[in-house]
Amino acid sequence: MSSEPRAETDTAVGEQCTACGAALSEQVLALQTYPESDEQTLDGLTNGGLTHCPECAAEPVALLDTWADHDQPPVNPDQPLGAGYREVSDCCSFCGNDCDRPVVGVELYRRPGGGLPAYANYTLCGDCQDVFEEFLANIRE
Ligand SMILES: [Zn+2]
Ligand SMILES: [Zn+2]
């Protein structure tokens, strides 16, 4: 009965910055996304997730700081994780509008020290998914 909490923050992410490729001595920002529908993808994200070094994290942190986080979504093995995000929040963390298209859940891990919490969940509506995708694509250039 060892109930050590699993250190997913340390195992779920790579060792390199997904934007610039710099080796990470300290992981500062990691994002995973969970689309409600399998057909959705976010081009800016590698394998559904990213890890950013302090330099590359600056812009996303400034953006996410303006989003409204919400409770952790329920996990139901019979449905995509993104569907849990819709159960917890039916309005967008970015623009605050109702989500009428399938949502994308965004899960954030962050080492303490900045404006963001160490762990947070967000939900993006269809319009804001496009905006976020564009934003991420620009960072990678
Ligand atoms: Zn970087
Ligand atoms: Zn929105």
pLDDT digits 0-9 by tens, 17-68: 888 899 887 778 999 888 887 666 666 555 558 888 888 898 999 999 999 9
Which bound ligand lies closest to the C-alpha atom of 20?
A: 1
How many angstroms separate the alpha carbon of residue 96 from the centre of ligand 1?
30
**Average pLDDT of span 107-113:** 81
How many angstroms separate the alpha carbon of residue 4 from the centre of ligand 2?
37
How many angstroms separate the alpha carbon of residue 135 from the centre of ligand 1?
15
d(CA 43, CA 101): 18
Which bound ligand lies closest to the C-alpha atom of 97?
A: 2
Residue 42 contacts residue 133 (beta carbons within 8 Å): yes
pLDDT of residue 74: 93
Reduce the DSSP state of residue 29 to 3 states and report it. Answer: strand
**Average pLDDT of span 79-97:** 92
Which bound ligand lies closest to the C-alpha atom of 29?
A: 1
d(CA 29, CA 45): 13
DSSP state of 98: B
pLDDT of residue 39: 66
pLDDT of residue 125: 93
How many angstroms separate the alpha carbon of residue 27 from the centre of ligand 2?
28
d(CA 126, CA 82): 13
Residues 6+ apart with CB under 8 A from 22: 16, 53, 55, 56
Closest-CA residue to 86 (of 97, 108, 102): 102
pTM listed for this prediction: 0.81
Residue 111 contacts residue 30 (beta carbons within 8 Å): no
Residue 95 contacts residue 128 (beta carbons within 8 Å): yes
Reduce the DSSP state of residue 105 to 3 states and report it. Answer: strand
Which bound ligand lies closest to the C-alpha atom of 58?
A: 1
Which bound ligand lies closest to the C-alpha atom of 18?
A: 1
How many angstroms separate the alpha carbon of residue 85 from the centre of ligand 2?
14
How many angstroms separate the alpha carbon of residue 94 from the centre of ligand 2?
5
